[in-house]
Chain A
C-alpha cells in the first residue's frame, strides 16, 4: 500500500479514534451509562419497583422498604432509634412521619427534606431519560476519584439545582454523586458512593449505597428487588389526620357547642 493510501485510510478512521480513545461526547457517555444500566426501553417498561434491604444509620442496622410507582410515587420506610420513619411522595407533594424530628402524625414534608423527597421520587434516577425529564447534563472532563477513572458530569436538574456525577470510564456505571443532602433540617453537601451492581430482570442496579454528609454515614444494602410488583396505591396517599379525641366534660362543666 502506498503512503498516500495509508494516509487516506488513517483519515477515514479518524472519526472513530476519539471514541476509541475515550473522547466521547456527553450524549455518548450518558447513552452508554443508560445501556450499562439495562437500556432505556427496559427501564421504560418498568412500572413499579419494590426494594428491601438493610439500612445502617447512626451505626445501627435496621430493615428498610422502598416502593416506587410511575410516574413519581415513592415510599421509603425505615426504623430509626426503634421508631418508624416514613418518607413519601404521593405524586404531587411529599409527606412524612418522622418521630425523631417530632413529626408523629402524617404531615407535608417541609423543605429542605421535602425537596430531597421530590428528587428521590424520580423513578430511575436523573441520568436515565434525562432530556425527557428536563435535566441538562454537561461533561466536565475525566477525573480520578479515589483511584477510579471517571467521567465527571454536571447535571442541572429541572428545578435548577446541580449535582455532580462520576461515571466509571470502563463500564459507565455510576461511581459517585455529589449533591445536596439534609442533616436534621440542615442542607449540607454530601457524597453517595455506588457499588455491588447486580442485574435483576435485565436492570442493572447498585445493591450498595454509602452516603456521607456532614458527620453522617448511611449505608443501604439491597437484599431483594421486585420488578413490577402490584403496590396498593393507598400506600402513597397521605392518611387523613386522626380526629382529635374529644375531651370528656369535667364534672360540673357544661359541654361547649361546636
Chain B
C-alpha cells in the first residue's frame, strides 16, 4: 500500500512536470495593463539582471500591424492585428506563438501614424472582448473565436470614429463591461451586460477619447473612473451609471490613470498639461474631490505609468522619470527611450524604447539602475509589454516576440 502511494505520488509528480507545472509565483495578464490594470505583474522569481545579449528569445513571429497589446490567460495569448483590409482577433499558443484561431472583426483603420487596432482585448472566463479601431466591440468565445455578441459604437451610440481610432480597452467588473464609447446624447460612457452586450446604462455627453477606465473602491463605494481625453475632466460613475463625482481638468489625456489606495487618483497628459493627484474624501455624506497637487513634472503621452511604493515611474513625454506621490518631486530622469513604454514586476522595470530596445532596471527612487538591455525589435514600438508566466511579450507594427525572463528554469510550459 505504501509502495503504491509512493508510485502514485511519483506518477503524479511526473505528470505534473510533463504538463509543465504553472509556477507558484506565475500570473496571467488578462487585460490591458495586467491583472490589476496598473501595469504591474505579481510575478516573482524573475531574472534580476540579464546576461550579455539579453534573456532568451523563446519565439518571434510576424502577426501584422497595430498597437494592440497582448493579454494572456490559461496558456493562450490574445491580441488584435491588421490582416489585409481587416482588423482581426488572434489566439496564439504561449509555447511557440502558433495560431489557434483568427477571426476578422471589421474594416482596417488606417492613418499616417500606423494602421490597425489600438485597443487591447480583455479576457474573462470563457469570453474575450475585442474593440476594433472603427468601434465594433465583439464578445468572442475563447475556445474557438465564435461570436457571442457585437455592438457597433458608431451606429448604436452615434459615436464618431476618433482621429486616431477607438483605443480604450474594455473593463469588466461583475456583470458589466464598461468603456468610453464617446457617443452622442448621453452615451459617452456605456455599461453593457457582458454576457449579452445589451446596454445597461449610458452616461454623459461627449466625444470618444483614448483612455481605459479604472474600477476602484473608495470609502466602500465601488466606482468607475474615466479620464476624458476630449471633455477634459475626470469622472467617477457608480455601478448604476449615476455620476458619483466629476473634476474638471484639461483635455488631452491618453494614458491610463492610476489608483493610489485608499482614495487617490493620478492622471496625466502630455502637450504641456502635466499631472494631477486627486483625493476623494467624504463631506456631509457626499464625495468631495480636491487636487492634492497639480504638476508639470510628469506629462504622460500614450505611455501609462506604474506606481511602486510611494513613487510613480513613467514617461514625461520622452523622458523616463521617477516622481514622489507626496509632492510630485522628481527623483530622477533617464533619457534615450524616445516615446517608450514600461511595466513592472518583482521590483523591476521593463522599459521598451520606441525603437525596440528593451531595458531592465531596478525600480528604485534612488536612481536609474540598469540591469540589462537587449535590442528586441526593429520597427516603431509603441505597444507596452505584457508579462505572464515568466514570459515577456513585446510587439512592434509587425512582429510579436516572447522572451524568457524567469530566473533559473525555463519559463512555464504546459
Contact = CB atoms under 8 A, between A and B. Distances in A.
Interface of A: 56, 58-61, 81, 146-147, 188-189, 193, 195, 210, 212, 214-217, 219
B271 A215 contact: yes
26 contacts: A58-B113, A58-B380, A59-B338, A59-B354, A59-B355, A59-B382, A61-B355, A81-B112, A146-B330, A146-B333, A147-B333, A188-B272, A193-B335, A210-B318, A210-B335, A210-B336, A212-B318, A212-B319, A214-B270, A214-B272, A215-B270, A215-B271, A215-B301, A216-B317, A217-B318, A217-B339
Nearest to B317: A212
B380 A60 contact: yes
Contacts of B272: 188-189, 214
A219 B339 CA distance: 11
A208 B150 CA distance: 49
B201 interface: no
A137 to B, nearest CB: 26
B335 A147 contact: no
A147 B333 CA distance: 8
Contacts of A217: 317-318, 338-339, 354
B381 interface: yes
A215 B207 CA distance: 21
Dominant secondary structure at the B interface: loop
Most buried by B among A58, A59, A147: A59
A192 to B, nearest CB: 12
B149 interface: no
A81 B330 CA distance: 35
A59 B335 contact: no
B332 interface: yes
Interface string B238-279: 000000000000000000000000000000001110000000
Contact of B338 (A56, A189, A195, A215): A56
A146 B380 CA distance: 27
A215 B270 CA distance: 6
Given A60-B380, A147-B332, 9 more contacts: A56-B355, A59-B354, A61-B355, A189-B272, A210-B318, A214-B272, A215-B301, A215-B317, A217-B338
Nearest to A146: B333
Contacts, number: 44
B271 A59 contact: no
Interface of B: 112-113, 270-272, 301, 317-319, 330, 332-333, 335-336, 338-339, 354-355, 380-382
B339 A59 contact: yes
A150 to B, nearest CB: 14
Nearest to B316: A212
Nearest to A183: B271
A214 B112 CA distance: 19
Nearest to B368: A147
A219 B338 contact: yes
Contacts of B113: 58
A175 to B, nearest CB: 12
Contacts of B381: 59
Contacts of B335: 193, 195, 210
A183 B230 CA distance: 20
A118 to B, nearest CB: 24
Contacts of B112: 81
A165 to B, nearest CB: 18
A183 to B, nearest CB: 9
Nearest to A147: B332
In the A-B complex, the 9 residue pairs with the closest CB atoms: A217-B318, A59-B354, A59-B380, A215-B270, A146-B333, A214-B271, A215-B271, A212-B317, A215-B301
Nearest to A189: B272
Contacts of A215: 270-271, 301, 317
B323 to A, nearest CB: 12
Contacts of A189: 272
B305 to A, nearest CB: 16
A71 B258 CA distance: 52
A217 B355 CA distance: 13
Contacts of B330: 146
Nearest to B381: A59
A27 B338 CA distance: 35
Contacts of B338: 56, 59, 217, 219
A229 to B, nearest CB: 30
Contacts of A61: 355
A147 B332 CA distance: 7
A56 B318 CA distance: 12
Nearest to A58: B113
Contacts of A216: 317
B337 to A, nearest CB: 9
A212 B270 CA distance: 11
Contacts of B271: 214-215
A104 to B, nearest CB: 16
A195 B338 CA distance: 15
B369 to A, nearest CB: 14
Contacts of A56: 338, 354-355
A216 B272 CA distance: 11
A44 to B, nearest CB: 33
Contacts of B319: 212
Contacts of B333: 146-147
Nearest to B382: A59
A135 B317 CA distance: 31
A212 B318 CA distance: 7
A75 B359 CA distance: 36
A119 B337 CA distance: 28
A194 to B, nearest CB: 11
Contacts of A188: 272
